[in-house]
Structures are given as C-alpha cells and as structure tokens.
C-alpha cells in the first residue's frame, strides 16, 4: 500500500479527530464574538438553512434569561454540578466568561454523530475556541465583530436581557476579547444582518467543500 493510501486509511478510521473520532467530512464550526455582536441571531438563521447541522448546547452556571429554555439554549446547572462534570473530564473545553462558567460536553459531539448530523456549531468564547482547536485541528473558526463599539453597546443594551451592570461588564470585556481575533480563520463584520448571513453561509459551503474533497480522495484511494 502506498504511503498516501495508508495515510488516508488511518485518517478515515480515526476521522483525524484524535480520540474524538468523527467522519472526515464532519463540519466543526466555532462562532465566537464579543457579547452582543450577533452570534445567537446568526446561529438561529444558520440552523434554519442547514437543519443537518447540530447546535452544541453548552452547560452554564449562568441563570436563564426570560426567553431561554433548559436543554435547548443551555443546560443550566449549579457550580457544584459544573465542577463535578469538569472533574470527571466531561468537557471538551470550559472557561469562565463574564463571571459564569460555560463548557462543551463531549456528549454533545457524540449526540450530533449519533443523530446522523453532518456537522456542528459551537457558540463559545475565544478561550474555549483555543481549547477546541488544540484538540480538534479540523475545526473552522469564525469571529464575529460589530460594525462599531457604539453599535455593540446599543445591541447589548437593546436586548434588555441583562442588568446595566452586566451590560457594562460585557462591554468592557469586548476590547480584550477582540484582541484574540487571530485564533480564528475568518473575521466577519455583522453590520447588515442579511449580508453577514450570506457571507457566513458562503463560509460553510466552502468549508464543506474542503472536507468533502478530502473524503472523496480517501474513498477513491481506498477503492483502488
């Protein structure tokens, strides 16, 4: 067997995801941004357009907002339960963000694969993005920016889901978060929602094409 063929055979078996095996063409997409830039809004539109993508439901110690549902938006847990899961290596990544703990359970990736999804979206901060990238080099990362800091502040306040103190805290954190843009493959300015969404859709199609290309070659080499 040629070296290339052997390499693809290993890739196909392991899914090139280390211990977190998944099909070669499985899309792992991180959406990250300062709070209020529009990740949740864009993610909802993405899931309508791509129902074959799984939204990774994180665990958090944050209290639910009025419109949030446990198990759909987050798994809302107390600190003791979160720490138990972290201690049992239940998280692929976790971080403290704006004073609360957030984490992605390994079980979320398993669920997406068991449901036959063709990929998944992680709505996580830059610290989590860094951890996932270290474990899953195949991941694609998009960092979403507001058109201006004034607009970010307007959006944070306009959402009316947090106290003024929390809005200020999140706004103050934004500049520090933006400094980590280089962790991501793409930077997307969410000014007009429809054009930002069109660009994001394009990124997904391109990332899929990249993965399908690899899977096709693996298939071709293994059949010959």
Residues making up the binding site for ATP: 33-40
**44 or 84: CB nearest ligand ATP:** 44
User: Is residue 144 a contact point for ligand LQESDW3C (CB under 6 A)?
Assistant: no
Among 17, 42, 53, 97, binds ligand LQESDW3C (CB under 6 A): 97
Chain residues binding ligand ATP by CB under 6 A are 33, 35-41, 155, 158-159, 190, 193, 196
Residue showing the smallest CB distance to ligand LQESDW3C in the complex: 128
Tokens for 193, please give them: 């929602």
As to burial, measured by CB atoms within 10 angstroms (0-12 exposed, 13-18 middle, 19+ buried), residue 47 is middle
Window 52-71: residues binding ligand LQESDW3C (CB under 6 A): 58, 62
To which H or E segment does residue 69 belong? none
- Distance from C-alpha of 14 to C-alpha of 25, rounded to nearest angstrom: 12
- Distance from C-alpha of 175 to C-alpha of 65, rounded to nearest angstrom: 24
Backbone φ and ψ for 174, nearest 5 degrees, come out as -60, -45
As to burial, measured by CB atoms within 10 angstroms (0-12 exposed, 13-18 middle, 19+ buried), residue 9 is middle
From the list 21-29, 99-107, 186-194, 202-210, the region that binds ligand LQESDW3C by CB under 6 A is 99-107
**190 close to 145: Cβ distance less than 8 angstroms:** yes
From the list 9-17, 121-129, 151-159, 215-223, the region that binds ligand LQESDW3C by CB under 6 A is 121-129
Tokens for 116, please give them: 């036959």
**18 or 158: CB nearest ligand ATP:** 158
User: Is residue 139 a contact point for ligand LQESDW3C (CB under 6 A)?
Assistant: no
Tokens for 102, please give them: 């957030």
Which residues of this protein are in contact with ligand LQESDW3C, per CB under 6 A?
32, 35, 39, 58, 62, 93, 95, 97-98, 102-104, 123-125, 127-128
């Amino acid at each position: 067997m040629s070296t290339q063929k052997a390499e693809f055979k290993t890739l196909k078996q392991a899914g090139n995801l280390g211990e977190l095996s998944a099909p070669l063409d499985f899309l792992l997409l991180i959406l990250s941004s300062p709070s209020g830039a529009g990740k949740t809004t864009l993610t909802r539109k993405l899931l309508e357009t791509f129902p074959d993508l799984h939204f990774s439901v994180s665990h958090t110690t944050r209290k639910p907002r009025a419109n949030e549902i446990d198990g759909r938006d987050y798994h809302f847990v107390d600190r003791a339960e979160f720490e138990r899961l972290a201690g049992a290596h239940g998280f692929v990544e976790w971080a403290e963000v704006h004073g609360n703990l957030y984490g992605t359970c390994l079980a979320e990736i398993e669920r997406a694969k068991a449901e036959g999804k063709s990929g998944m979206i992680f709505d996580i901060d830059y610290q989590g993005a860094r951890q996932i990238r270290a474990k899953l080099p195949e991941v694609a990362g998009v960092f979403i920016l507001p058109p201006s800091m004034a607009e970010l502040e307007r959006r944070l306040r306009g959402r009316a889901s947090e106290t003024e103190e929390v809005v200020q805290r999140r706004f103050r954190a934004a500049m520090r978060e933006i400094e980590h843009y280089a962790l991501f493959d793409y930077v997307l300015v969410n000014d007009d929602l429809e054009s930002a969404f069109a660009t994001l859709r394009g990124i997904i199609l391109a990332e899929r094409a990249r993965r399908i290309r690899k899977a096709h070659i693996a298939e071709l080499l293994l059949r010959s």
